[in-house]
Amino acid sequence: METDSGKKTDRRVLRTRKAIMDAFDKLLTERGLDKISVSALAREADIDRKTFYLHYKSVNDLVAYKTDESLERIARALDKRGRDASPLERVHIALSEVNAILLENIEAYRQIASSMSVDQALARFEESVYSVLEKRGVDRNLIDDSQMRMRLQFYIAGAMSLYASWLRSDRSTPIESVSQTIEDAISTSVFPTIALFPQTV
C-alpha cells in the first residue's frame, strides 16, 4: 500500500490500522455507532489511545474511512468491468458492488443505518463521492456545478434511503430487489445517467 506521497506504508502501520478497523466492526455489530468510544476501540484493538490518534482523529473518522474505501472499491469495479459499458450497465455494476459490500457485514451497516440520519449519511457520502471523482480526473467544473450536485444528492439520498430501510428491516426481500428498484428509477429518469457514473480519463 502506498500513501499520497508515494511512499510504501510500513507493515506495522497497516497491521495497526487493520486491528482498529476490525475492532470498529466488532463493536459496531455489538453495540452500535453511538456507543463506541476511542477507549473501547483501543482496548478491543489492544493498543493505547495515543496509538489510535496517530491513525485516526475520531470514531467518526473511521466511518469516513469505511465510506472512502467502499467508494474506491466501487470505482475499481467500474474501472475493471465498466470501461466499455453503457451508462445503465455501469449503474448496475456499481449497485452490484454496493450489494456485495453490504452483505459482507450486514449487522455493522445496519447499525450505521440506525445511528445516522439520511442527511448525516448523505453529507458523509457526498464528501467521499466528490473526492473519488476528483482523484479519478472527472472535470472539476462538473463536480462544482450546483445543478449537478443537486441531481446527485437526489439520486444518492434516494438510494441510501432504500438501502437503509432494507438494512433496518427483517431483510426478507432480497437486496437485489433494492438495487433493481434504484436501477429502474434511474433508467426511466429524464436525467442523463452518464452523469451519475462518468467514465474516468
pLDDT tens string 189-200? 755 554 555 555
Spatial separation of the C-alpha atoms in residues 165 and 181, rounded to whole Å: 13
* Region of poorest pLDDT, from 45-49, 65-69, 177-181: 65-69
| Higher per-residue pLDDT: 40 or 154 | 40
> What band does 79 get if pLDDT is binned at 50, 70 and 90?
confident
pLDDT digits (tens, 9 = 90+) for 120-167: 887 877 777 777 777 777 666 666 667 777 877 888 888 999 999 999
pTM above 0.85? no
Domain residue limits, the chain: 1-56, 59-195
Amino acid identity of residue 136, one-letter, is R
Dihedral angle over CA of 110, 116, 122, 128, nearest 10: -70
Spatial separation of the C-alpha atoms in residues 47 and 51, rounded to whole Å: 6
> What's the rounded mean pLDDT across residues 114-123?
80
CB of 2 closer than 8 Å to CB of 8: yes
The predicted structure's pLDDT at residue 130: 73
> What band does 8 get if pLDDT is binned at 50, 70 and 90?
low
> What band does 75 get if pLDDT is binned at 50, 70 and 90?
confident
Question: What is 59-195's CATH number, 1.10.357, 2.30.30, 3.90.1200, 1.10.150?
Answer: 1.10.357
> What band does 5 get if pLDDT is binned at 50, 70 and 90?
very low
Spatial separation of the C-alpha atoms in residues 120 and 181, rounded to whole Å: 23
1-56: CATH topology is Arc Repressor Mutant, subunit A (1.10.10)
